[in-house]
Amino acid sequence: MKLKMLTLTALAGIVLTACTSAPKIPPLATGVLQEVQNLEVYPETTNNKAKLTKFTDKCVIEFTGNLATGKSVEQWSFKGLTLISGGSATFAQDGSSTAANFDLHAAEVQKNFLILRNHFHKDALAQCN
C-alpha cells in the first residue's frame, strides 16, 4: 500500500513538473493592423480588399478580389522594406483552381507589391519593421 501511494505521489509530481515547466509558445499572429477595400488594381477586380496582418517575425498582406472568371487571392510576406515571399491562387467558377509563386526578383512583381503596400497607412506599415 505504501509503495502504491509513493508511486502515485511520484507520478503526480512528475506530471505537475512537466506541465509547469513546458515552454510558452508565443502567438504567431499579433493581429490585423489595417484593412482596405475597393482598391484600383490590375487586373480589375470587384469587391476587393486587402488586409495587413502583423506576425511575430513578419507582416502579410492578403489581397482578395473577384475577377470576371472567378476569385483571386494573393499573399505577400515582408519585413520592413524586404519582400520575403509572394504568391497567388485563382479559383474559377467551374471549380478549378491554379496557384503560383511570384518571382521576387522580377521588376513587375516588385512594382505590384509596392503599389499594394502603399494602400496602407504609414503608421500601420511602421509596425512591420
Q: Where are the domains of the chain?
A: 29-126
In terms of C-beta distances under 8 Å and separation of at least 24 residues, what long-range contacts does 10-19 make, across chains too? none
Question: How confident is the model over 21-31, as a mean pLDDT?
Answer: 57
In this predicted model, what pLDDT tens digit does every residue of 82-121 receive, in sequence order? 999 999 999 999 999 999 999 999 999 999 999 999 999 9
Check residue 29 and give its pLDDT: 54
The owner of cell 484600383 is 40
Question: Would you mind telling me the total number of residues written for the chain in this entry?
Answer: 129
